[in-house]
Amino acid sequence: MRPPEHWHLRQRRPSRRWPLLAALGALAIAVVAIGAWRWPSGGGEAQPQLASSVLGSGCQGGANCDQAPAADFSAGDVIPPRIRGRAAVVIEVSCGELLFSHNPDLRFAPASLTKIATALVAVDHTSLTDTADVQVNSALMAASTGSTVMGLEPGMRLSMRDLLYGLLLPSGNDAAVAIAQAVSGSVPAFVQLMNAKVAALGMQNTHFTNPHGLDETGLYTSARDIAELGRALLAQPELAAIVRTKRYQPAWDGAEVWNGNELLGSYPGAAGVKIGYTERAGQTIVAAAERGGRRIIVSVLSTWDRYGDATALLDWAFASTQRACSIR
């Protein structure tokens, strides 16, 4: 499902009596409106910020959501690129050095980035060879919620490995529920494990209410927290291998599952991790790439150009910084 168009301009028909003045007035209004949309107040080198109305206000940080953004960066001489996302961070994976931050601790709806935490909890409590008895009807889930699904049906028996591929490649909400039920017996019990996981990692700006990321009150994360969860996923070799896989054949009679992350195969050195979208969250992404012996991870929340933002930040990180971990 593609995000809706984000801007519509309608010009009034010029009056017959004053055609020139009407045309000039309409043009001035359009120029001012477009300028207000593209750039935040305050000028300078601040990052562009989308108005709350554009993406349904996925921010849960109160009044701070509408403040002009302040971009901070700590490495390199090259000015970071302008991005469309309302929050972002760039991290050197090997040591966790923060290279760039833009509203890193404000709370936004994560959409399917939630599934990063689902996968981490799953490998904490099960083996990838464990078998799950599926109770989820993906057709009903897709019809009732508009969910992306891997195609599960009640009565199937699949390995946890197959379910994790279905979770992280096509972003199957049915796989998320099946994993939760297999690990904890119920979705609420599994969500408790998810929140215990982020609490143990010291994260104060992330809270989960479900294992898939469909919009709900109380479901939020921050750019810093979700990037660190992505970094934790990359530290798990089996999960790291899954998120960089383009397609996978589960042990069933159905079709292969495909990875929806378009950076794989298009961005040099791309290594996953996860994309997401809901009307409230807008587009979201956690992206990782490897180059010259380095691995960089980027998170962007509440954007309408996740691939453009992630690519620009990755290019900047690789081009303008040395290995942050070796220059302390």
Which are the catalytic amino acids? 112, 115, 171
Q: Exposed (0-12), middle (13-18) or buried (19+): which is 190, by Cβ within 10 Å?
A: buried
Residues in CB range of 179: below 8 A, 6 or more apart: 118, 122, 132, 160, 163, 164, 167, 190, 211
Residues in CB range of 7: below 8 A, 6 or more apart: 34, 37, 54
Give the other-Cβ count within 10 Å of 57's Cβ. Answer: 17
Sign of CA dihedral 197, 100, 292, 113: positive
Q: Give the 3-state secondary structure of residue 303.
A: strand
Q: Do the beta carbons of residue 238 and residue 126 sit within 8 Å?
A: no
DSSP label at residue 63: G
Residues in CB range of 137: below 8 A, 6 or more apart: 152, 153, 154, 174
E strand intervals along 97-159: 97-102, 131-133, 157-159
Distance CA 328, CA 321 (A): 13
Distance CA 270, CA 289 (A): 4
- The token duo for 3 is 């995000």
Distance CA 91, CA 85 (A): 16
Distance CA 77, CA 74 (A): 9
The identity of residue 179, as a single letter, is I
